[in-house]
Amino acid sequence: MLAMATFLGFAVLVTALIHLYLWKRLIRDTTRPGRWRRVGGIALLLLALLVPATMITTRGGVHWLAWPGYLWLALMFYLLVLLLALEVPLAVAKLALRRRMRVGLPASEPALVGAGGPAAAPLDIAAVQAEMPSAGLARASSVGLAEPPADQPPADQPAESATGPANPPPAGTATAPAPGHDPSRRLLLTRGAAIFAGLTAAGLTGYGVRTAMGPPRLDRVQIPLAKLPRSMDGLRIATVSDIHLGPLRGRSHTERIVAMINRLDADLVAVVGDLVDGSVAELGAAAEPLRDLRSRYGSFFVTGNHEYYSGVEEWVQEVDRLGLRVLQNARQEIRARGGVLDLAGVNDVTAAGTGLAAPADYAAALGDRDPSRPVVLLAHQPVAAYEAAKYGVDLQLSGHTHGGQMVPFNLLVGLQQPVVSGLGEVDGTKVYVTNGAGFWGPPVRVGAPPQATLVELRAQ
């Protein structure tokens, strides 16, 4: 509970800062003071409040805010990314505009008599008047080269003192912009950037919704294992993770995944954590189709971090009731085709309880086994491979990362996890990470489509 409260507090702070930045770039920089700026500010404030409200209410079983709240979260993310990416081009454009305007300004007239300098040569006013047109004479008058015409009232040409005009403009009168500053052009630039960011963010979000809500993509990967007996060559493991049953995904989602896996006619099925985002009372019916999973040698499950937010003890018992063997810091001998393979599983690395909620115990799952056998470890998070490698694990199957779910978030995921998507290696242990079949938070996937994988083990 404390961890969840800390997470929500941090999320609220980050959300507030992001919306402050969006207000500056989308509202303040694109509107003049007045009604529309106030309306935009109020709208953005309400959207900022929508984000934490959605997170809190969905945890409490109230789901009507889920769609608008999570869609805005995705749109907010892409607006932030795009506007930050436009900061440098905007700054360059504004600098170029300022320089261009300065070059276009007329040069100032040089002083004819320097203060305290040598006396200038006598100036023949009559000759100047004879050579200059009337407009030029007026200009000469403005710099003290000619007397105003006799028939012009003195009030029209007030004398100026050394400190400024004798009749300064009244207070509140608009003054000319400073040299190199054109508010209308700056407004055009900022509005153009806001429109581009808004349309692009909306397009990416729409595409991401279509991808996330569509069927998982089936990937097939062959992974050679040095210890795999020749007789077990071609053993197939249907691997799926991060189904994330919850406010936006229900029973039909589970049924579609089960049907896809059953068509593969796999030897083993591995469900690698983050099955649910809610209690058994809320989502038990949605998970029910898992009892229909078919495989030759069994279906297996390990917990992910979201099970610990959703009542892990109840879910372990429920998944076991549905016919999946829950590997909680345990392993199972798989005897097939005249060979033996150890299939092990550990609790999620974030677990910190006791009993069914105990933390990952690699020694319990991997210790005291025959080292000549190949071992495949089911562990929700790829980072578990650092510990798994110490026990000589040949292959680890993981999820958790969602492949980043929304590019460029995958770059941040890579700072925490050694493998974000696909096949990698950690300290000699091969690690395969599936993108997951569902989503968490925004129903959006960009650059990381939902996925189920058929892993085929090959003998070397």
Residues 251 and 304 in one domain: yes
Q: Which domain holds residue 97?
A: 2-102+182-204
In a domain, 47, yes or no: yes
Compute and round to an integer the Cα radius of gyration of the chain: 35
Q: What is the pLDDT of residue 140?
A: 39
At 224 the three-state DSSP class reads strand
Could you tell me which residues come within 8 angstroms of residue 8 by beta carbon, excluding any fewer than 6 positions away? 52, 55, 56
In a domain, 345, yes or no: yes
Full DSSP string of 85-119: HHHHHHHHHHHHHHHHHHHHSPPPPPPSS-TTSPP
Q: Which residue from 51, 56, 54, 74 is spatially nearest to 66, judged by alpha carbons?
A: 54
Residues 85 and 232 in one domain: no
Average confidence score pLDDT of the chain: 86
In a domain, 157, yes or no: no
Residues 328 and 389 in one domain: yes
| Chain centroid offset of residue 27 CA | 22
Q: What is the pLDDT of residue 353?
A: 77
Residues 449 and 307 in one domain: yes
Q: Do residues 378 and 394 touch, judged by C-beta distance below 8 A?
A: no
Residues 187 and 270 in one domain: no
In a domain, 362, yes or no: yes
Residues 189 and 312 in one domain: no
In a domain, 89, yes or no: yes
Residues 296 and 397 in one domain: yes
Q: What is the pLDDT of residue 182?
A: 63
Residues 406 and 350 in one domain: yes
Q: Which of 174, 204, 234 is the last residue of a domain?
A: 204
- As for how many domains the chain has, the answer is 2
Residues 82 and 221 in one domain: no
Q: What is the pLDDT of residue 179?
A: 53
Point out the residues of the chain with pLDDT beneath 50. 107-121, 125, 128, 130, 132-148, 150, 153-164, 172, 174
Residues 283 and 349 in one domain: yes
Residues 255 and 377 in one domain: yes
Domain harbouring 362, CATH code: 3.60.21.10
The number of residues making up the chain comes to 460
Residues 342 and 240 in one domain: yes
In a domain, 264, yes or no: yes
Q: What is the pLDDT of residue 175?
A: 53
In a domain, 371, yes or no: yes
Q: What is the pLDDT of residue 138?
A: 41
C-alpha span between 212 and 73 (Å, rounded): 15
